[in-house]
Amino acid sequence: MTTTIAIDKVGKTINRKEIIKDLSLTINEGEVLGLLGPNGAGKTTLIRMIVGLIDITEGQISVCGHDVENEHRDALGNIGAIVENPEMYPFFSGQKNLDYFARMHNGVSKEKIAELVDFVNLTDRINDKVKDYSLGMKQRLGIAQALMNDPKVLILDEPTNGLDPAGMQELRRHIRMLAKEKNVTVIVSSHLLSEIELMCDRIAIIKKGELIAVENVRDEAKQVYHFKVSEPEKAQVLLQEQFDIISQLLEDYLVVELPAELSDVSSLVKAFVNNGIAIYSVEPKNHSLEDRFLHLTAE
């Protein structure tokens, strides 16, 4: 696997305040990395360093083999980004804004722009002025802008900001598609695990400028289900005997951790029903990561 982004012992100091401390991380081609941390953790600062918007106080960052500071333009040629809220020209239409950036990139074909517009679902409103756009629409326009130069690396700072659930799902699907089919390396930041965990391969957790954990999301296919059943004790015994699963009884529901090889919950359901246990509800949960995130970032 090739490394696309290498962050090597990076530190950032502003006004004698250390904002990022000795942070190292490598991201591979086609990988989607989530940058997770509470407000003020330093996500935006790190992203700004990766795209060369601010100086790197210590250490190095390279993108596609190019040092971000010394070979800035070579590195930039591979990057598409939204950093914080996309800055567009409010009195221009969405179309004109995209046209502006397309020309900046030395020309991007009309078809390509239309394709991007369609992709971010703005076709109906693309000729309206950006000042009349909603936050989510601006965000979509920003994403279209970031994809303009077919980047190998896509960096999105809080892309879910202002998106509605449908938009969020769309974005998620999209980012997975870019990573899988086009081998694009993606960094997405967020302070909400739930918003990005489904699209990421790995999640780097940052707190007060330090990288405190990197978690694999995909390996952790252990699925957790909450069962609400008529006879929880009987169900517990059944699970252990038939499936060799140790479950926990919490209040009035069973917490069942499904091993990776047993990804189908239907066999459990069938067993319950066959044994005369009524099922009121089954809820998939993935609390393990979220609990860990809360635990890791807790004061």
Partner 1 sequence: MNKSLVYLVRKSFINFFKKLIKKPLKALGMLLLVTYYFFIPFLTKGVITDLGLNTHAGFVLIASIGTLYLTMPLTLTYFKRKGVSFKKQDINFILASPTSPKQALIYALSKEVYINLAMQVMFLMAAVLVFTVPFLTSIIYLLVNIVFSNLLSYSLAVIMYASEEITLKQKQWIKRIVYVVLAMFTVFLMTMVVSQTLESGFDFAYIISVLSSPVVLMIPIFGWQLGWLNLIMLGPTPVRLIATGLFFASAIGLTFYAYRMKVSGEYYEDALSFSENIALLESKKGDISLTEAFGHKKKNYAYKGELKGLKSNVIFHKQFIERRRSKKYFLGWSDFIYLIAGIGLGLTSLFWDGFIVPDYFLEIMVGLSIYLAVFFRPSADWKSEFKNHYLFLMPDSPLNKLFNASLLEHLLTFVRAIFLVVPAGLLMRVSLLEILYAISLNVLLKAMMTYVSILIEAIIGAKIGHTFASIISMVVSVIIMIGPVVALFFTQTLSTFLIFTAISLYAILVLFLFLYLSSINLRNIESLEE
Ligand X SMILES: Nc1ncnc2c1ncn2[C@@H]1O[C@H](COP(=O)(O)OP(=O)(O)OP(=O)(O)O)[C@@H](O)[C@H]1O
The footprint of partner 1 on this chain (CB under 8 A) covers a number of residues equal to 33
Q: Pick the stretch among 101-109, 191-199, 213-221, 289-297 that binds partner 1 (CB under 8 A).
A: 101-109
Q: Which of 55, 118, 264, 283 binds partner 1 (CB under 8 A)?
A: 55
Task: Tell me the DSSP string of 221-259.
Answer: --EEEEEEES-HHHHHHHHHHHH----EEETTEEEEEEP
CA-to-CA distance for 96 and 88, rounded, in angstroms? Answer: 10
CA-to-CA distance for 31 and 13, rounded, in angstroms? Answer: 29
The tokens of 288 are what? 């393990």
Select 98 or 157, whichever has its Cβ closest to ligand X.
157
Answer whether 139's CB lies under 8 Å from 86's CB. Answer: yes
Round the CA-based radius of gyration of the chain to a whole number and report it: 23
Q: Which of 9, 24, 40, 53 binds partner 1 (CB under 8 A)?
A: 53
Select 44 or 247, whichever has its Cβ closest to Mg ion.
44
Binding at 177: pick from partner 1, ligand X, Mg ion, none (beta carbon under 5-8 Å per type): none
Q: Pick the stretch among 70-78, 235-243, 263-271, 275-283 that binds partner 1 (CB under 8 A).
A: 70-78
Q: Pick the stretch among 38-46, 59-67, 220-228, 257-265 that binds Mg ion (CB under 5 A).
A: 38-46
Answer whether 12's CB lies under 8 Å from 19's CB. Answer: yes
CA-to-CA distance for 74 and 76, rounded, in angstroms? Answer: 5
* Alpha-carbon dihedral 213, 194, 216, 199, rounded to 10 degrees: -130
**Using the rule CB under 8 A, is 79 a contact of partner 1?**
yes
CA-to-CA distance for 196 and 286, rounded, in angstroms? Answer: 13
**Using the rule CB under 6 A, is 94 a contact of ligand X?**
no
Amino acid identity of residue 38, one-letter, is P
**Using the rule CB under 8 A, is 99 a contact of partner 1?**
yes
Q: Pick the stretch among 37-45, 194-202, 215-223, 255-263 that binds ligand X (CB under 6 A).
A: 37-45
Q: Which residues bind partner 1 (CB under 8 A)?
A: 48, 51-55, 72-73, 76-77, 79, 81, 83-87, 89-91, 96, 99-101, 103-107, 131, 135, 145, 149
For Mg ion, the binding residues (CB under 5 A) are: 44
**What is the contact surface with ligand X in residues (CB under 6 A)?**
14-15, 19, 37, 39-45, 191
